Amino acid sequence: MNILFFTNISPFPQNGGEKLRSYYLLKVLAELGHRVFAIIGNEEQVDLREYQIEGVEFFIHEEKALGLADRLTGRHHFQRTSSVLQLFEKIFQNRKIDLAFLDYGYIGQYISYFRNRGIPVILGTHNAQALHTQQVPAKGFVKKLRRSQLVAVEKLHERKYFNQAAAVLVVSEVDKAYHRSFIDPSKLFVIPNFLDEREYELDVVRDPNVLVMTANFSMYMNYEGLKWFVENVWNDELAARFRLLLVGRHSKEALRKLKGAEEWKNIKAIGKVPDVKPFIGMASGVIIPLLHGSGTRLKCLEAMALRTPVIATAKGVEGVRSENFIIANTAEGFKNALLTFNGKGQHLGTLLREDFMQEYSAAVNRKRMEEIINAQLLPQ
């Protein structure tokens, strides 16, 4: 089968949650034996020859910066871009496309392009985006008004376009419940965030005194979680016992904003790295002190896949099926959880890997994807 895959995400390098989701979707589709023509972003201008996936041919979509009118009105949520349509036409010139896969964000306006050609469309969501936007902190009347306007635009887009797809993928049962209010339930399928277990077998030595938090710290939920942790949980006692590494985009900027330096009280911001796996693999634990957000935390799944214990708020592991997290929802509880974190690492890590393999491995979700494509979209 020939599949046209379109996303505004730049999947490479795979150093962020949304990037990992798109990358593994592409990989699974190709491993099912399909030929995939993938229109992707390339924000970091990487050499795609270094990221080849057998069975996938890449086409670059250079997304233009939004103008003031777009930001004020949200009209880009409903307009098609000529450069994207030209790439569609280029792919269609010498190929018969059997299925379109539109992944992430507000690109539902392109569904009718394929429906008018008799081509079924899978629409992939990475979270319940309007709920995310609704949780963004806003101080003052103008910012609150702007947030309300953006939520209204996002909800309008969802209700105008999402039901036109043959199938809509969501990442959790919580997100499914949200989308069920405006999408035919028979079109909704849960494909959780997942990872290729073969890429998470590392030979690393753990450091019992290192904790790690991985994130894109420019995202409000990650920054606010870090802010809460630094201001309410971390103290001299913890700093004497652990070294906390902040790994990911804008971690240096986040710690500088909070504490005026890139290293403070045994917390060190590492910044953006090409691969977070070595940091997670060598840590005694991963902390996920989130207070906002939705979806399934890829940072949590990476820790599970690497057998690294997770200490988190309930929100930090929301949507992930496992009874083997260390959960603490108050500052005092989180502090005590870390201080009593003795001798649990190896046992908890093994249990987390088992939970990961049952629900969040590529092997399991490859089968789920195959069932959706074959049974729902292309019945025999």
Instruction: Note the pLDDT tens digit of each residue in 344-355.
Output: 667 899 999 999
Nearest to 224 by CA among 135, 291, 285, 142: 291
pTM: 0.88
In this prediction, residues 255-274 reach a mean pLDDT of 96
Kindly report the average pLDDT of the chain as a whole number.
91
* Per-residue model confidence as pLDDT tens digits over 24-79: 999 999 999 999 999 999 988 999 999 999 999 999 998 777 777 777 777 888 88
Q: Is the pLDDT of residue 296 over 60?
A: no
Q: Is the pLDDT of residue 212 over 80?
A: yes
Q: Which tokens in the block code for residue 91?
A: 């792919």
Q: Is the pLDDT of residue 245 over 90?
A: yes
| Other C-beta atoms lying within 10 Å of the C-beta of residue 90 | 13
Contact 112, 85 (CB under 8 A): no
Most confident of 56-65, 235-244, 314-323: 235-244
Q: What is the pLDDT of residue 363?
A: 96
Q: Out of 70-74, 106-110, 281-285, 315-319, which region has the weakest mean confidence (pLDDT)? A: 70-74
Question: What is the separation of C-alpha 130 from the centre of its chain, rounded to a whole number of angstroms?
Answer: 15
Is-cis flag, bond preceding 13, omega within 30? yes
Question: What is the separation of C-alpha 118 from the centre of its chain, rounded to a whole number of angstroms?
Answer: 30
Question: What is the separation of C-alpha 244 from the centre of its chain, rounded to a whole number of angstroms?
Answer: 23
**Among residues of the chain, what percentage have pLDDT more than 70?**
97
In this prediction, residues 102-112 reach a mean pLDDT of 92
**What distance in Å separates the CA atoms of residue 251 and residue 249, rounded to the nearest whole number?**
6
**What distance in Å separates the CA atoms of residue 83 and residue 238, rounded to the nearest whole number?**
52
Q: Out of 174-183, 190-199, 278-287, 369-378, which region has the weakest mean confidence (pLDDT)? A: 369-378
**What distance in Å separates the CA atoms of residue 57 and residue 66, rounded to the nearest whole number?**
28
**What distance in Å separates the CA atoms of residue 109 and residue 128, rounded to the nearest whole number?**
18
Q: What is the pLDDT of residue 293?
A: 67
**What distance in Å separates the CA atoms of residue 318 and residue 329, rounded to the nearest whole number?**
12
Q: What is the pLDDT of residue 318?
A: 87
